[in-house]
Amino acid sequence: MSRIDLHLHTTHSDGSLSPTEVIQLAHKANVTALAITDHDIVTAIPEAMAAGIDLGIEIVPGVEISSSMGSSELHILGYCINWQDSELNRRLASLRESRHTRNPQIIERLRSLGLDVTYEEVRTLAGTESVGRPHIARLLMDKRYVTSAKDAFDRYLAEGRPAYVARELPQPADAIAWIRAAGGVAVLAHPTWAKVAGEGLITLLTTLKDEGLGGIEVHYSTHTKKQTTEYLDLAKRLNVLVTGGSDFHGITKPDIEVGTGRGDLKVPEKLLDPLKKAAFLVGRS
């Protein structure tokens, strides 16, 4: 059965597979269209497009921008962006720069806890400009300080753990504006991260919609049936688009597959056209 997958990471951010490898997996999973949405970077898109042409898979140019609101980290997905837009690329470069000041601080904390790790090792392992905590987690796995990426976050890297360092993140309104300025549609990723439900979530989404949000990621690997239904109802109620994706990362999230998530994800193909139409309208506004 064919499907689409609008949320995937590659080696250009914290995924473990190249764009071509991700698209080969998508082909095997009968995915007809997909979006590469690396964190704060768009450099995977040309390779993805070439592989997509080879295998007959439509590639939607995407990005995932981390933002923060209060104590919540909100991820804003950008779809159908003009990925070569110079202003967008300048913004993304400065976001990546802020990771470069944070990551060495995390490494310092790990070292002070007695772990033998260096930032140089993380950069070598990452092999990309978009270095993130999952790369540090992988280094800790390689050095057998932890048994899995989850173990690394639970013991050291998650908020409240001893090697956690907060990062200066943009406001969601800024991330939304940057995506729209590059002709894209802004969508709230994995809404559970907002840490609010019910009326609180409606208020948040109404604010974000006023700021230009165009959709909600309703279908997602970890969503329960109840959450999917709740977000679907909210999208209808607020008259915003519905999207969905696996958030595939490869080895960093080993239980999540391209296209099928934990096995039962199915993002309907019919969601793609409204997304492209919305981007067309953004481009003309």
Burial group, residue 65, by CB count within 10 angstroms (0-12, 13-18, 19+): buried
Span interacting with Zn ion, options 22-30, 73-81, 115-123, 152-160, rule CB under 5 A: 73-81
Give the largest Cα separation in the chain, rounded. Answer: 55
CB of 217 to Zn ion, least distance (A): 9
Type of residue numbered 115: L
- Tell me the residue nearest to Zn ion as measured from the CB: 75
Q: Is 182 in the site for Zn ion (CB under 5 A)?
A: no
Span interacting with Zn ion, options 112-120, 144-152, 225-233, 242-250, rule CB under 5 A: 242-250
Q: Is 247 in the site for Zn ion (CB under 5 A)?
A: yes
d(Cα 24, Cα 47) in Å, to the nearest integer? 12
Q: Which member of 26, 136, 189, 242 binds Zn ion (CB under 5 A)?
A: 189
CB of 105 to Zn ion, least distance (A): 22
Phi-psi region of 131 (alpha: psi -120 to 50; beta: other; left: phi over 0): beta
Tell me whether strands 72-79 and 185-188 are parallel, antiparallel or unpaired.
antiparallel
User: Which is closer to Zn ion, CB of 14 or CB of 85?
Assistant: 14
Q: Is 133 in the site for Zn ion (CB under 5 A)?
A: no
For the chain, the straight-line distance linking the first and the last C-alpha, in angstroms and rounded, comes to: 37
CB of 70 to Zn ion, least distance (A): 17
Q: Is 96 in the site for Zn ion (CB under 5 A)?
A: no
Q: Is 240 in the site for Zn ion (CB under 5 A)?
A: no
Q: Please, which residues have CB within 8 angstroms of residue 150's CB and are 6 or more apart in sequence? A: none
Q: Is 91 in the site for Zn ion (CB under 5 A)?
A: no
CB of 248 to Zn ion, least distance (A): 9
3-state secondary structure of 65: strand
Find, among 216, 190, 205, 176, the residue nearest to 78 by Cα: 176
Q: How far is CA 226 from CA 190, 222, 257, in A?
A: 14, 11, 21
Q: Is 217 in the site for Zn ion (CB under 5 A)?
A: no
Q: Is 31 in the site for Zn ion (CB under 5 A)?
A: no
Q: Which member of 75, 91, 133, 209 binds Zn ion (CB under 5 A)?
A: 75
Q: Which residues ranging from 52 to 71 are in contact with Zn ion (CB under 5 A)?
A: 64
CB of 193 to Zn ion, least distance (A): 7
Find, among 266, 272, 210, the residue nearest to 241 by Cα: 272
- 56 near 46, Cβ under 8 Å? no
Residues that bind Zn ion (CB under 5 A): 64, 75, 189, 247
